[in-house]
Amino acid sequence: MSVATVVPRRARSPRSGLRRGESLAGWVFTAPVLIILGVFLLIPVLMALWVSVSDWGGRGSPLSPRVSFVGLENYAAITTDGGLKTRDFGISLRNNAWYVLLVVPLQTALALFLAVLVNRAILRGRGFFRTAYYFPSVTSSVAITVLWLFLFSATGVVNEILSWVGINGPVWFRDPRGIVHILLGVFGVDSPPAALVSGGFLGVAWWGWIAGPSVAMSAFILMAIFTTSGTFMLLFLAGLQNIGGDVDEAAMMDGANGWQRFWRVTLPQLRPTLFTVLTLGLIGCWQMFEQVYTGTKGGPGKTTLTPAYLSYQSAFTNQDWGEGAAIAFILFGIIVILTIFQRWVLRDRPVSRRRIRQYEVRSTPAPPASGRPPKDFATADAGRPPGKEADS
């Protein structure tokens, strides 16, 4: 008879259920990353937050005793004072808002269309098209901006192509007119209503807020759609390839056409991917900087000025470090709020009781024409002598 050896069980953490040694090893392995993030991310963010509420002038350490706490003065200078700084901040928000409003939906729709197109089995050379669509995303944004300046110049390729169809193209990066104002002028609305001129927000009249993106900013919008759609196409393509074909086949058997299968079956299963694409597009559009820095410096007429470039200009050009940091944190707050709102819109909603009742009615079998319940043949035949069938 063998004696069983009792092996003592190792102690586990009451909260996580992990062994103490595993928990310690996890902290050891993650400590280098946490230290790097703390030194190069958390500490600079906290120092920038201090700069936004102090009078630091850019010389010496922001933590020196000579730097004083000024509270929200830097934030008030760009939001409530009503001077040139407030107006510049309002103009930058107006420009960037129109940029986001047009770029995010268009690049998402184009990326989804390309992903559906490339995902089709009948398409030949899918690898080539995936590479071709993604190639602009890995190209330097500075190089693409320089190319865009050449293409959209007064004598560039774009205006040359427009001249073939009888259109006299504008001087793209020197035209400060808003496209909404241009369209209203076509319909005879040349002067703004008094109500849109008297009121405003952040030093910009309501007529200026509805001006739309300028002609120069429209060129940047086209460039953003061209350069980012390839990256988001790969995300949608990965999501499409993870969707099983059985659900689509079941919808096809139920008589759904191609559009109904895409709208009712495929797109709801792409909701996590859609949220990722919209979030990345939203963050990237609000952080627009290198195109303006390389191309227009905020011109013409400040119609390509963005909050990110204004923050850089305030801090590094005008030496208003506190105001530059304040603009950056306001921009951070805008991105966080819009991301939370976007997640709320795309959340999983519970099925309503009315729709549940519709499903129950559809799934309930119809009674027989005679009004009698169907026979349970297994029960009816029970106990019957073999060789005899039940009466119909």
**Contact between 153 and 172 (Cβ < 8 Å):** yes
Q: What is the mean pLDDT of each run of 10 residues along the chain (392 residues)?
A: 49 55 84 92 92 89 89 91 90 95 94 86 69 81 89 88 87 88 85 82 89 92 91 89 77 77 83 91 92 90 93 92 94 93 81 67 59 50 49 43
Residue 61 in any domain: the answer is no
Q: How many CB atoms lie within 10 A of CB 142?
A: 13
CA distances to 93, 215, 301 from 174, rounded to whole Å, are 20, 8, 9
Report pLDDT for 1. Answer: 45
In sign, the C-alpha dihedral spanning 329, 331, 333, 335 is negative
Residue 21 in any domain: the answer is no
Residue 117 in any domain: the answer is yes
Please tell me the total count of domains within the chain.
1
The residue type of 117 is: L
Report pLDDT for 373. Answer: 54
- How far from chain centre, in Å, is Cα 195? 34
User: Which 8-state DSSP code applies to residue 204?
Assistant: E
Residue 362 in any domain: the answer is no
Report pLDDT for 352. Answer: 65
Helix or strand (DSSP H, E) at 121: none
Report pLDDT for 332. Answer: 94
Residue 322 in any domain: the answer is yes
Query: Which two tokens mark 265?
Result: 């079956």
Give the structural domain span for 152.
77-345
Helix or strand (DSSP H, E) at 201: strand 200-201
Residue 49 in any domain: the answer is no
d(CA 50, CA 44): 10
Q: Is 206 exposed, middle or buried (0-12, 13-18, 19+ CB in 10 A)?
A: middle
Comparing C-alpha atoms, which of 148, 150, 146, 169 is closest to residue 159?
Answer: 169
The residue type of 116 is: V
d(CA 123, CA 312): 46
Residue 45 in any domain: the answer is no
Report pLDDT for 3. Answer: 47
Query: Which two tokens mark 261?
Result: 């299968």
The CATH code of the domain that includes 122 is 1.10.3720.10
Residue 364 in any domain: the answer is no
| CB-based contacts of 226, cutoff 8 Å, min separation 6 | 136, 144
